[in-house]
Amino acid sequence: MDLSIVVPLYNEANSLPELNAWITRVVNEAGFSYEIIYVDDGSEDDSWSVICGLRQTDSHIHGIRFRRNYGKSPALHCGFRRVEGEVVITMDADLQDSPDEVQELYRMVQEEGYDLVSGWKKKRYDPLSKTLPTKLFNATARKFSGLKLHDFNCGLKAYRREVVKSIEVYNDMHRYIPYLAKIAGFRHIGEKAVQHQARKYGTTKFGVSRFFNGYLDLITLWFTSRFGKKPMHFFGVLGTIMFLVGFIALVIVLAVKVASILSPEGSLRPLVTNSPFFYISLTGMILGTQLFLTGFIGELIVRNSSGRNTYVIREEL
C-alpha cells in the first residue's frame, strides 16, 4: 500500500463529508493505493455515525472510536499503530489543512528521501491571539530541538512508515513530533509550505492553556531525552556545583574565625552567624546533598524500571 492518511477528530461532523470527498478525489486522481483512518477521539456529536456512513460505501475507510475524549496525541498514536502504507500522512479534520498537498508530500518522502516532512502554514488564517504566541512557541521549540522548522505543530505532516512505528506520541506531544523523530534517530527532517484555510465549521479544541502546557512539555521532552536514562549526569553536576560553593563558603567562614581567634585584639571576634558566607555555606551544602540524593533516587528508578535499554534497530544482516 502506498499511502495511509490518519485523521484525528473530535466533534467535526460538519467537516467530515467534505473532507472525505476531497481526500478521496485527490488520491484517486494520483492513482495511489491507500487507506484513510479516522480516529474519533470520543466525539459527542454525530461524527461517528458520519464515519460509519462513509465506510459503508468505501472500504478504503477505517474508523476507530475512543470511548471518551483522550486528546489529539493518543488519537494519532492509535492511528499510527494501525497504518500499513509506506508513507503516512496526518491531517486535521477541520478542513484547515488542504488534501491537495498530499501528492507533493508523498513525493518528497519517496523520492527526496525525507523521513518526515512537516507542513508550514506560511500564510495563516487564524486570529492574531493565536498566531503571535505560536511564533514565540516555534522559536523556543527550534532552540530546544535544534531543528530548523517554522511550524512544529502543523497538523499536516508526512512520514516514512518506519518513523511513526518508532515514536510514541503521548500526552500533548503531538506538538513536537519532529523533535520526537529526531530523538528516535531520524535525521532527514524537512518542511514544505502548505496552504491553510480558516476554520469553516465548529471551533478550535485547544484554548490558551495550550501555550503553558506546550512549554512545560517541551522542557520535559528536552530533559527526558537528554537525562532520562542517566539522571545523575544532571543532578550530580548541579549537586557538585552547589556543594562546592557551600564548601568554599565554609572554608572562608572558618578561615575568618581562626584568624580572628589568633589575632591579638580579642574583643574583635565576630560571630560566624554574622557572616553572609555562613548562610551561603549552609544552603549550598544542604542543596548540594539534596540534589545528589535526587540523582541517586533517579538512578535507582531507571535501574529498576523496564525498558532501561531502549534502542531501535535499523537493520540486521
Single residue of 85, 99, 119, 155 touching ligand UDP by CB under 6 A: 155
- Per partner kind, with CB cut-offs from 5 to 8 A, the member of Mg ion, ligand UDP, none near residue 10 is ligand UDP
Rounded Cα distance, 54 and 16, in Å = 9
In the complex, the smallest distance separating the C-beta of residue 96 from Mg ion, rounded to whole angstroms, is: 4
- Among the candidate windows 88-96, 103-111, 230-238, 274-282, which touches ligand UDP by CB under 6 A? 88-96
- Per the CB < 8 A criterion, the answer to whether 3 and 107 are in contact is no
Q: Does 96 bind Mg ion (CB under 5 A)?
A: yes
Residue 296: CB minimum distance to ligand UDP, A: 39
101 phi-psi bin (left φ>0, alpha ψ -120 to 50, beta other): alpha
Q: Are strands 189-193 and 116-120 parallel, antiparallel or unpaired?
A: parallel
- Asked if residue 231 binds ligand UDP (CB under 6 A), the reply is no
Question: Quick one: cell of 203?
Answer: 471551533
- The C-alpha atoms of residue 302 and residue 12 are separated, in whole angstroms, by 41
Q: In angstroms, rounded to a whole number, what is the distance separating the alpha carbons of residues 310 and 274? A: 53
Binding region for ligand UDP (CB under 6 A) out of 48-56, 64-72, 177-185, 289-297: 64-72
Contact range with ligand UDP by CB under 6 A, out of 6-14, 225-233, 274-282, 288-296: 6-14
Adjacency order of strands within the sheet including 87-90: 61-65, 34-40, 3-9, 87-90, 157-160, 116-120, 189-193
CB of 290 to Mg ion, least distance (A): 44
Q: Should residue 15 be labelled a site residue for Mg ion when binding is judged by CB under 5 A? A: no
Among 48, 60, 72, 288, binds ligand UDP (CB under 6 A): 72
95 binds ligand UDP (CB under 6 A): no
Among 3, 5, 6, 9, binds ligand UDP (CB under 6 A): 9
Gap between the Cα atoms of 190 and 209, Å rounded: 28
12 belongs to the binding site for ligand UDP (CB under 6 A):
yes
Please classify residue 30 by burial: count the beta carbons closer than 10 Å to its beta carbon, then call 0-12 exposed, 13-18 middle and 19+ buried.
middle
Could you tell me the three cell numbers for 304?
529498576
| In the complex, least distance from residue 117 CB atom to ligand UDP, rounded to whole angstroms | 19
| Positions in the binding site for Mg ion (CB under 5 A) | 92, 94, 96
| Positions in the binding site for ligand UDP (CB under 6 A) | 8-10, 12, 41, 69, 71-72, 75, 92-94, 96, 155, 204-206
